[in-house]
Amino acid sequence: MHTSVMLEESINYLNLNDKSTVIDCTLGYAGHSSAILKKIPHGFLYAFDQDNEAIKEAEKKLNKISNNYKIINKNFIHLKDEIKEEVDGIIFDLGVSSPQLDEDYRGFSYHKEAKLDMRMNQNQDLDAYKVVNEYPLEKLIHIFKEYGEEKYSTSIAQAIIKKRKEKPIETTTELAEIIKENVPEKYRRKSHPARKIFQAIRIEVNDELNVFSSALKDSLTMLKKGGRISVITFHSLEDKICKKIFNEVSNIPKELRGLPVIPDEYKPKYKVLANISPSKKEIENNPRSRSARLRVIEKL
Ligand SMILES: C[S@@+](CC[C@H](N)C(=O)[O-])C[C@H]1O[C@@H](n2cnc3c(N)ncnc32)[C@H](O)[C@@H]1O
């Protein structure tokens, strides 16, 4: 079961009417998409996901509501190629769904014994096994630092290289154990030491940050006037990208600030409407929402 995060806020901010056209970039188990479809009986919903299992379940749910939707079984980086019309609302609810985390065999979780996988798209070639067993030392250190913000990146990467010379590292729990053994005792007690490294490998396997950055920029160009984008992120790296892109398009360039008259071409074309965290109540009910942040922007 996947509990949708910031469901009400993210959809209310889209300000939909019954004829709105909407894109859900991260269909998942259709929590957001179901709520959207109910709001747009005379509109249309496009929904992306690259996870075949999520799509099967989502379809069953959406069919009970209406049939004015199209599921696109692709990475949302293809947004602009797939949809040629301007839309009223776009939503990104990033990361993985709870079933992806809970299914042992997907290899996303360090708690569960599984083959090293972590692919959201089960048809792609690069998986966590290849990252862990084939990447050179410098590249491992780089992704652990950049995507995991892990201070013991070097010692963990060195330990991985040493272990894999003896035999390939096959499973999530083997990897988690290597990580645990190579951080100081005190650090182990804070949170599971594998958390950040698993996040880093997942981001690398799915190229999550580049894909998101490119798709978010494209999505801004796909809005009608008054159209809005809601973005729910789950860690600071995604949120930083969203904040930077939204700031760039919603602010007057620094050099022109303070001028008595701003030329039309430099006036912002977008306005940031929200930058909020989940309520205390939501965090209590769904601890997974703890790290979430919702940012919303409108095309003027
Ligand atoms: C957090 S879940 C979405 C949950 C959904 N909003 C709900 O309420 O049920 C994220 C989903 O987006 C998908 N996803 C993540 N990145 C993607 C990408 N680049 N392209 C397509 N789907 C992606 C994942 O496969 C996952 O199913």
Pairing label, strands 223-233, 293-299: antiparallel
- pLDDT-above-70 percentage for the chain: 99
Residue nearest to atom 5 of ligand 1 (CA): 28
Which phi and psi (to 5°) does residue 95 adopt? 90, -155
Which phi and psi (to 5°) does residue 294 adopt? -110, 125
Same domain (yes/no): 146, 69: no
Kindly state if the Cβ of 4 falls inside 6 Å of ligand 1. Answer: yes
The verdict on residue 228 lying in a domain is yes
CA distance from start to end of the chain: 38
Instruction: Report the pLDDT averaged over residues 177-192.
Output: 83
The verdict on residue 44 lying in a domain is yes
Q: How far is ligand 1, taken at its centre, from the CA of residue 16, in Å? A: 21
Pairing label, strands 223-233, 270-276: unpaired
Q: b/e per residue, 32-65, with b = 16+ CB within 10 A?
A: bbbbbbebbeebbbbbbbbbeebbebbeeebeeb
Q: Residue 188 pLDDT more than 80?
A: no
Kindly state if the Cβ of 153 falls inside 6 Å of ligand 1. Answer: no
Q: How far is ligand 1, taken at its centre, from the CA of residue 119, in Å? A: 12
Residue nearest to atom 2 of ligand 1 (CA): 97
Residues contacting 165, CB < 8 A, separation 6+? none
The verdict on residue 1 lying in a domain is no
Q: Give the domain range for residue 119.
A: 100-206
Residue 58 CA: nearest ligand 1 atom is 9
Kindly state if the Cβ of 95 falls inside 6 Å of ligand 1. Answer: yes
Q: Which of 8, 27, 103, 219 should be mutated for ligand 1, with most atoms under 8 A from CB?
A: 27
Same domain (yes/no): 110, 201: yes
- For residue 193, what are the CA distances in angstroms to 96, 198, 288? 20, 9, 18
pLDDT at 295: 98
Residue 212 CA: nearest ligand 1 atom is 19
The whole-angstrom separation of Cα 156 and Cα 172 is: 15
pLDDT at 172: 94
Q: How far is ligand 1, taken at its centre, from the CA of residue 56, in Å? A: 13
Answer with the one of 181, 206, 231 that is the final residue of a domain: 206
Model confidence at 254, pLDDT cuts 50, 70, 90, reads confident
Check which CATH number belongs to the domain holding 187 and give it.
1.10.150.170
The verdict on residue 2 lying in a domain is no
Overall number of domains in the chain: 2
Kindly state if the Cβ of 230 falls inside 6 Å of ligand 1. Answer: no
SS3 227: strand
Check which CATH number belongs to the domain holding 81 and give it.
3.40.50.150
- For residue 218, what are the CA distances in angstroms to 3, 49, 85? 28, 17, 13
Kindly state if the Cβ of 92 falls inside 6 Å of ligand 1. Answer: no
For residue 41, give the DSSP letter: T
pLDDT at 92: 98
pLDDT at 190: 67
Q: How far is ligand 1, taken at its centre, from the CA of residue 92, in Å? A: 8
- For residue 89, what are the CA distances in angstroms to 151, 238, 262, 294? 39, 20, 29, 15
Span of 214-223, 230-239, 262-271 with lowest mean pLDDT = 262-271
Answer with the one of 206, 238, 264 that is the final residue of a domain: 206
Kindly state if the Cβ of 278 falls inside 6 Å of ligand 1. Answer: no
Q: How far is ligand 1, taken at its centre, from the CA of residue 242, in Å? A: 16
Q: Residue 16 pLDDT more than 80?
A: yes
Instruction: Report the pLDDT averaged over residues 11-24.
Output: 98
Summarize pLDDT for 66-87 with one digit per residue, the tens. Answer: 999 999 999 999 999 999 999 9
Amino acid at 120: M
Kindly state if the Cβ of 50 falls inside 6 Å of ligand 1. Answer: yes
Kindly state if the Cβ of 33 falls inside 6 Å of ligand 1. Answer: no
